[in-house]
Amino acid sequence: MSIILVVFFVVYLGMMLGHLPWLKVDRASIALGGAIALLATAEVTQAQALASIDFSTIGMLFGLMLISIQFELSGLYGVLSSAVGRVQTGPAILLALLTGLVGIMSAFLTNDVVAVAMTPIVLSISLRRGLNPVPFLLAIAFAANAGAVATIIGSPQNMLIGEKLHLSFAGYMGYAAVPAVLSLVVVWLALVFFYRGSWRLQRTVGAVGEEPAEPVLDRLETIKGLLILGLILYAFIFTQASRGLVAASAGAFMLFNARFLSRDMLNRVDWGLLLLFIGLFIVNGAIQDTGMPQHLVADLKAAGFNLQDSGVLYAVSAILSDLTSNVPTVMLLLPYAVDHEAGPLMALASGLSSNLIVIGSLANIIVVDAANREGLNISFGEFAKVGVPVALSTLLIAWVWIRYVM
């Protein structure tokens, strides 16, 4: 048991810091290393390790990544972004269009992939129109996080919650769609307020160069992707088929085409995220098997801090998601989601709290890193200036909606 505790502590320290002191190791490697350490020391058997992995969640995440990659390679993201950029309107309306587009796509595709695909395009559009890219880049991060909470396939932690708690696609949307839409409105209002006098670019940033080629849409591959996505959503909503198997099968189907090399598609898969899931499944399964978390929760409940209360779980999920990242937090707290509101509340808390600080989500880091490469320093304070009010107000909206309106 002592080895399991040490491994658990080291893994979650790594989740909190994003690395381990003096080592160039990321969260995925830390989680995988922890799982292997448990197997190597015989604290966990191979059978126990396999039993602790939720392959349905892994399959759903893998399959939907490939669907999103299909849209990226077919040019859909680029064409949609370019279409928004060509709209002749003021910066505030352009920001609203971008926020809505990113929010909608993030609800039905993996939000991190949406952020990766759209960030360079939006950055280029902003620079060429002489606009300050910062509010538009922040809109990608905030909208990706806020829009993703609308469905159980919008983010990795949503998929995990949906699978573990057996939430229906439509049932979950009934809880989360309205808070997601209202959160997108809050994102737009906050960015308009904070950047109302700073729409124009005050200095030269990066190398603008020649006008880039217009994005080309591969209509056949786009239509194929849309049809497959439609079939996935139909299966999720109207059938009892395994969502993981449906999504994985659809993703595998995407690999068999005459237009894109399957190797190119597989190279774009976020294998690190999949390894993070597998490692955390094993580590969390091992700590749960010791019985210690259950005893700790019972002691906390006796002291007046009931982790199984949906309100407490909501607050703890929101706080820990910015400390240890949202996927590890959800894995840690899922065993204590016991009432019908707990799943949607955990998803909303982990997703909306991601807008608080830069390290709150991968989408945030993707956007900030892209800006920094172009000489635009989006500092911790610059991000938090908008992120803190956005996160706190949207968390309040979601709480009021579920507890007092639904």
Query: What HEC string does the chain produce?
Result: CHHHHHHHHHHHHHHHHCCECCECCCHHHHHHHHHHHHHHCCCCCHHHHHHHCCHHHHHHHHHHHHHHHHHHHCCHHHHHHHHHHHCCCCHHHHHHHHHHHHHHHHHHCCHHHHHHHHHHHHHHHHHHCCECHHHHHHHHHHHHHHHHCCCCCCCHHHHHHHHHCCCCHHHHHHHHHHHHHHHHHHHHHHHHHHCCCCCECCCCCCCCCCCCCCCCCCHHHHHHHHHHHHHHHHHHHHCCCCHHHHHHHHHHHHHCCCCCCHHHHHHCCCHHHHHHHHHHHHHHHHHHHCCHHHHHHHHHHHCCCCCCCHHHHHHHHHHHHHHHCHHHHHHHHHHHCCCCCHHHHHHHHHHHHHHCCHHHCHHHHHHHHHHHHCCCCCCHHHHHHHHHHHHHHHHHHHHHHHHHHC
Going residue by residue through the chain, which has 406 residues, state the pLDDT in tens, using 9 for 90 and above.
689 999 999 999 998 888 898 989 989 999 999 999 999 999 999 999 999 999 999 999 999 999 999 998 999 988 888 888 788 888 999 999 999 999 999 999 878 888 888 888 888 888 888 888 999 999 999 999 999 999 999 999 999 999 999 999 999 999 999 999 999 999 999 999 999 888 887 655 554 444 556 678 899 999 999 999 999 999 999 999 999 999 999 999 999 988 999 999 999 998 998 999 999 999 999 999 988 888 888 888 888 888 888 889 999 999 999 888 889 999 999 998 888 889 999 999 999 999 999 888 888 888 888 788 777 788 888 899 999 999 999 999 999 999 888 7
């898969």: which residue's tokens? 269
Query: Is 346 in contact with 333 (CB distance < 8 Å)?
Result: yes
What does the pLDDT read at residue 406?
Answer: 74
pTM: 0.89
What does the pLDDT read at residue 84?
Answer: 84
Measured distance CA(68)–CA(71) in Å, rounded: 5
Query: Is 67 in contact with 250 (CB distance < 8 Å)?
Result: yes
The distance in angstroms from the start CA to the end CA of the chain is 43
What does the pLDDT read at residue 53?
Answer: 94
| Residues facing 20 on adjacent strands | 23
Measured distance CA(159)–CA(347) in Å, rounded: 9
Cα 177 to Cα 300, 311, 347: the distances in Å are: 33, 20, 12
Measured distance CA(302)–CA(71) in Å, rounded: 51
Query: Is 214 in contact with 154 (CB distance < 8 Å)?
Result: no
Measured distance CA(355)–CA(317) in Å, rounded: 14
Q: What are the b/e assignments for 391-405, b being 16+ CB within 10 Å?
A: bbbbbebbbebbeee
What lies within 8 Å, CB to CB, of 274 at 6+ separation is 58, 61, 62
Single-letter residue type at 102: V
Q: What does the block give as tokens for 44?
A: 């966990």
Span 98-144, pLDDT tens digits: 999 999 999 998 788 888 888 888 888 888 888 889 999 999 999 99
Measured distance CA(199)–CA(131) in Å, rounded: 6
Query: Is 327 in contact with 110 (CB distance < 8 Å)?
Result: no
Q: Give the number of other CB atoms < 10 A from CB of residue 189.
A: 15
Span 81-96, pLDDT tens digits: 888 878 888 899 999 9
Measured distance CA(368)–CA(350) in Å, rounded: 20
Single-letter residue type at 143: A
What lies within 8 Å, CB to CB, of 133 at 6+ separation is 122, 123, 126, 127, 201, 205, 371, 374, 376
Rg, Å, the chain Cα set: 21
Query: Is 312 in contact with 304 (CB distance < 8 Å)?
Result: no
């849309």: which residue's tokens? 226
